[in-house]
Structure 1
Amino acid sequence: MKIEHIALWVKDLEAQKNFYTRFFGGKAGEKYTNPKKNYTSYFISFDTGARLELMHIPTIPANQNDLDKQYLGLIHFAMSVGSKEKVDELTETLRSEGYKVLGEARWTGDGYYESVVLDPENNRIEITI
């Protein structure tokens, strides 16, 4: 078995699509629209692994999680960029463009080299080798 996709409710569908395609090399599928439900979405595919589904309905309430605390449930997903140098480079690119870096690039106790950044809607992403 494998994880086929992970879905995120988003406030700004186009901005989120642009973030994941620009910085992580994702390829956006056709925009799906269901006018009855006022629902729109994109699937973002990457070279390998699971897809990311970005979904939007205007009436979905904002996430109430505090960025400085951790809560039960999905807290992050990791994007592999292939090398330590690429982790460092992408982390710095995102920082320079105003995205928040929650965790500086480092080797973790379980053997990962990673940083932690927030996407435009404050979803945590581990950038790893």
Structure 2
Amino acid sequence: MTIEHLAIWVKDLEKMRAFYEKYFEATANEKYHNPAKKFESYFLSFQSGARLELMQKPGIPDNKNDVSVQYTGLIHFAVSTGSIEKVNELTEKLRKDGFQVVGEPRTTGDGYYESVILDPEHNRIEITE
């Protein structure tokens, strides 16, 4: 089995789509809009075949999690770049462009080389080799 997609409720659908397209080479489908439910979404496809669904709808409450503290539940997802050099390059590009790096590039105790950044709406993303 494989994970087909993950979904994130977002406040700014277009900003988030552009972020994942620019930094993670995602390709968005045509925007889906359901006027009756005031729901809009994009499916973003990655080269690996995995997808990320970005969803927007009025009235979705803010997430109560504090990004500096870990909580039970989904806390991050990881995107593989293919090399240590690419992890470092992407991390520095994101930092330069004003995104928060919450985990500096490093080799973890279980052998992953990764960094951790926050997307524009403060979702954690691990950038791995």
**TM-score band (shorter)?**
over 0.9
* Aligned match of 2:126: 126
Displacement after TM superposition at 1:109 (Å): 0.6
* Aligned match of 1:26: 26
1:26 & 1:90 partners in 2: Cα distance? Answer: 14
* Aligned ranges 1:46-85 → 2 under 5 Å: 46-85=46-85
Displacement after TM superposition at 1:49 (Å): 3.8
Task: Tell me the secondary structure at the aligned position of residue 98 of structure 2.
Answer: coil
Q: Give the RMSD, CA atoms, in angstroms.
A: 0.6
Counterpart amino acid of residue 44 in structure 1: L
* Aligned match of 2:113: 113
* Aligned match of 1:98: 98
Task: Tell me the secondary structure at the aligned position of residue 19 of structure 1.
Answer: helix
1:127 & 1:8 partners in 2: Cα distance? Answer: 18
TM-score scaled to structure 1, two decimals?
A: 0.98
* Aligned match of 1:12: 12
Counterpart amino acid of residue 101 in structure 1: V
* Count of residue pairs brought into register by the alignment: 129
Task: Using the aligned pairs only, state the percent identity.
Answer: 64
Displacement after TM superposition at 1:83 (Å): 0.5
> Once superposed, which parts of structure 1, at least 4 consecutive aligned residues long, lie more than 4 Å away?
none
Give the unaligned 5+ runs of structure 1.
Answer: none
